[in-house]
Structure 1
Amino acid sequence: MSRDLFYQVALPLIPGVAGVMSRALLGYCGSAEAVFSASKERLTKVPGVGSLLADKILAHRTSALREAETILKRVEKEDVKLLFYTSPDYPQRLKNVPDAPLLLYYKGNADLNAAKVISIVGTRKSTEYGRAVTEQLVQALVKHEVLVVSGLAYGIDIAAHRAALKAGLPTIGVMGTGIDLIYPSVHKSEAQKMLSQGGLLTEFTFGTAPDAPRFPARNRIIAGLADCTIVVESTSKGGSLISADIAHGYDREVMAVPGPITSPTSQGCNHLIKSLKAVPYTQPKDLEELLNWDKALASPKVNSAPQEDYHGFSDEERKVLRTLKEAGPLHIDVLSRHTQLSMNQLSTVLLTLEFSSRIKSLPGKQFALV
């Protein structure tokens, strides 16, 4: 294991260092290792780091490094892959959200940056209707070679994983525990199969037990990994509504399956649709039209023809223009991955190019050349 990785594993082990704060520390200090060698005076200059947090960082540095050493030995022994925020293998969709995890533990063989990723979530108390819809939905995803993401929980989650395994699609289980603890344990069989047809993913270190506050944190990863989050069934206060709200807050597409107004497990979905937080899913065509899958999410093909110079445009603008020329209309998330521009950079570039009438926006957050 590299020296950099040693400090990268240790950094999120310090209490109070997570999400936005961890990236602020990295941005100011330059690396995880530099955070560990920084003085209190330097740490307090980082925006958002006051005297109390600086003291906490200083107090826990040694114990975090010791724990990191133990973790790295176990990672190597158990064939777990560590994905740090700056790693090229880190899921780019997730990286674009403001509270992305600093470090992910991953076991499996799926490409977390697959061209098409859909999260399917729902109530733990699923009905026959919800399970049947989930099965049909996953079957419709086969021709699109979609990566299916869910939370390995009872009900709709495990139904989505099972349907994906049956259909031959890769499926990722995002866990609210350590990578070594399958919860609920009755899903160990499915989890084992997913290691060779998808994978397991968590931000929590080895030995982390299931605890209620960790599952909303898990839900943000489910929402952040996908182009669209689909809620199949949910009660009026279902946990899957958290995933939908998070996805909506990330400006990602959200769909919900409408159900009978007399069914408690459809109240959440019907409310999402009524409040305009979700688009109704009634047939595969709804999803295909929303994401423009017939052409917009196709991976860019290498074009052997001479590229237009686009003289007078910035490097970032040229990247966008050339990518759209080669690939045709693209979803903003796919465009971000292929141009390697952050969402903030890309949004600025797209706005400039729209003003100059070189590109146009399409429904479903797609963009194309004029």
Structure 2
Amino acid sequence: MSEQDLFYLLALLRVEGVGDIMAKKLLSNFGTPEEIFKAKTNHIAAIDGVGSVLLKNLKDKTVFEKANRELEFINKNNIKVSFFKDEKYPERLKHCIDCPVLIFSAGNIHFNNKKIISIVGTRQITSYGIEFCKKLIEDLAPLDPIIVSGFAYGVDIVAHQLAIENGLQTIGVLAHGLNQIYPKAHKKYMAKMEENGGFITEFWSSANPDKENFVRRNRIVAGMSEATIVIESADRGGSLITANLANDYNRDVFAVPGRVTDKYSQGCNQLIKMQKANVITNAADLVYMLNWDIENKPKSVQKQLFVDLESEEQKIYDFLLKNGKELLDIIALQCEFPIYKISGILLNMELKGVIRPLPGKLFEAI
């Protein structure tokens, strides 16, 4: 993205009433952010969801001053910016309808690793949670996953530290701009974090760590990860919000079970009881459910003879033959079918014996 496009996109995102979904809708209709500001009022008004208030706000010239200040901050501090259509944008996150249009990052982050998991939980982590997290990350280390969390007290910072100790890349998703760090007590971990991954955020340098920002931050933690693991949680808390968001995004969720009398196992036990999370007792559970243990094994593909496939089924079958096993949402995206429709098609294909489901919401051709 050119600096000019970034400037106008920053300005667009400062327009009151323009969130991520509306910004994507406007970009889809006008191509570039600059063209949105140049477009005739009647052309913008024709877009679904645009009302008189938004039309008026698009004429607010102060958004350009705000965009210029943020652009200066970005350039001065060598902040990396990822547009949601860029290759460097987290692949899974871009499939979420409410993903941020822009992500700002600092450090040494590489999103090309497909094994990305988020580890979340209470800020009052117990010795039980610490020991489980330690063993989990040590056992997963040979598979080289990226560990994502929120850089908060408790489970978050323990997961980040253990990732670094085991030579893994780790990413802290922040609920504020990159001009500060919260909590301030964790400033001492910043250098190691940036050496072994870094920080990402959707928030500008003017944003403070307000309560509502943490809820918004959680959708990034859930959306960019293949799976979310809740180590410990009380019956309420941000980690349960993250788990619910991960379910909404069709991601795998795991929870560590605990005694029913333990305060910080109540949230995990509830997730399991409500079938919103798989039980995880060790790294092997995760490896099996995400299909990591057979990821690199050669697959023998036997073509199905004398099976009549509908045109939609044939398209999916050909895609899986060419690409191997794939996630449900990737199949939907690449084959251009809505999620609500793809599930039924895949079920019919499974009944016909031409595909099979795998752990981790994956499918492959037989």
Q: TM-score, normalised by structure 2?
A: 0.88
Alignment match, 2:361: 365
Residue 110 of structure 1 deviates from its aligned partner by 2.1
* 2:38 corresponds to 1:42: no
Q: CA RMSD in A?
A: 2.7
Match of 2:334 among 333, 341, 355: 341
Query: In structure 2, what residue type is equivalent to 1:20?
Result: I
Quote the Cα distance in structure 2 between the aligned partners of 1:343 and 1:134.
39
Per mean C-alpha deviation after superposition, the further-off stretch among 119-128 and 69-78 is 69-78
Quote the Cα distance in structure 2 between the aligned partners of 1:267 and 1:350.
32
Quote the Cα distance in structure 2 between the aligned partners of 1:340 and 1:108.
30
Alignment match, 2:6: 5
Aligned partner of residue 261 in structure 2, secondary structure: coil
Quote the Cα distance in structure 2 between the aligned partners of 1:95 and 1:142.
26
| Compared CA separation, residues 177 and 124, structure 1 to 2 (3 A) | same
Residue 349 of structure 1 deviates from its aligned partner by 6.8
Residue 30 of structure 1 deviates from its aligned partner by 2.2
8 Å Cα contact 1:181-1:207 kept in structure 2: no
Query: In structure 1, what residue type is equivalent to 2:137?
Result: V
Aligned partner of residue 58 in structure 1, secondary structure: coil
| Compared CA separation, residues 314 and 71, structure 1 to 2 (3 A) | farther
Regions of 4+ moved over 6 Å: 312-318
Equivalent residues in 2 for 1:68-107, closer than 5 Å = 68-107=67-106
Aligned partner of residue 266 in structure 2, secondary structure: helix
| Compared CA separation, residues 316 and 11, structure 1 to 2 (3 A) | farther
Query: In structure 2, what residue type is equivalent to 1:229?
Result: T
Equivalenced residues, count: 353
Q: TM-score, normalised by structure 1?
A: 0.87
Alignment match, 1:252: 251
Aligned partner of residue 20 in structure 1, secondary structure: helix
Query: In structure 2, what residue type is equivalent to 1:73?
Result: E
Structure 1 segments unaligned to the other structure (5+ residues):
302-311
Query: In structure 2, what residue type is equivalent to 1:175?
Result: L
8 Å Cα contact 1:118-1:148 kept in structure 2: yes
| Compared CA separation, residues 81 and 363, structure 1 to 2 (3 A) | same
Per mean C-alpha deviation after superposition, the further-off stretch among 28-37 and 264-273 is 28-37
Quote the Cα distance in structure 2 between the aligned partners of 1:158 and 1:201.
15
8 Å Cα contact 1:300-1:327 kept in structure 2: no
Deviations 1:72-124 (A, max 9, x none): 22212211111112222111211111111111101122222421000000011
Quote the Cα distance in structure 1 between the aligned partners of 2:254 and 2:13.
33
Query: In structure 2, what residue type is equivalent to 1:242?
Result: I
| Compared CA separation, residues 353 and 128, structure 1 to 2 (3 A) | closer
Deviations 1:164-210 (A, max 9, x none): 01110000000001012110011112222111211100000113111
Aligned partner of residue 101 in structure 1, secondary structure: coil
Aligned partner of residue 162 in structure 1, secondary structure: helix
Structure 2 segments unaligned to the other structure (5+ residues):
300-308
Query: In structure 2, what residue type is equivalent to 1:282?
Result: T
Alignment match, 1:308: none
Per mean C-alpha deviation after superposition, the further-off stretch among 163-172 and 71-80 is 71-80
| Compared CA separation, residues 198 and 314, structure 1 to 2 (3 A) | farther
Alignment match, 1:65: 64
